[in-house]
Amino acid sequence: MGSVLRFLVDREVIRRATRPLPLGTLAVNVSGAALLGFFGGLVLSKEAALLAGTAFVGAYTTFSTWMLETQRLGEERQLRAALANIVVSVALGTTAALVGQRIGAHI
């Protein structure tokens, strides 16, 4: 389910965006970080946390696509876009995970 949702979200963002950054992958990975943080903030059994975090969010997010898209930006000499992709992804992903964790802890 996670990989199908990733495909749908990525395609919808790409359809609407015309930027050099791979915004579909960014949207998927940031929302996945928020979701993983949320699950981490909840009091879940070990099995439920593993299923939610690894099975669903792991299939939903994509580190390899993020790195491939960044490498391709570098190959195309879009070095600012490649660096921005790394910095923005890490900053937004970390922030999203922290916000998700706080929300999950308060439920």
Say if residue 32 carries a ligand binding annotation. no
pLDDT of residue 20: 77
Cβ-based burial of 95 (10 A; exposed 0-12, middle 13-18, buried ≥19)? middle
pLDDT in tens, 33-91: 999 999 999 989 989 988 999 889 999 999 999 999 999 999 999 999 999 999 999 99
Other beta carbons within 10 angstroms of residue 66's beta carbon come to: 20
Say if residue 58 carries a ligand binding annotation. yes
pLDDT of residue 18 exceeding 80, the answer is: no
Task: Name the nearest CA neighbour of 3 among 71, 83, 73, 61.
Answer: 61
Cβ-based burial of 15 (10 A; exposed 0-12, middle 13-18, buried ≥19)? exposed
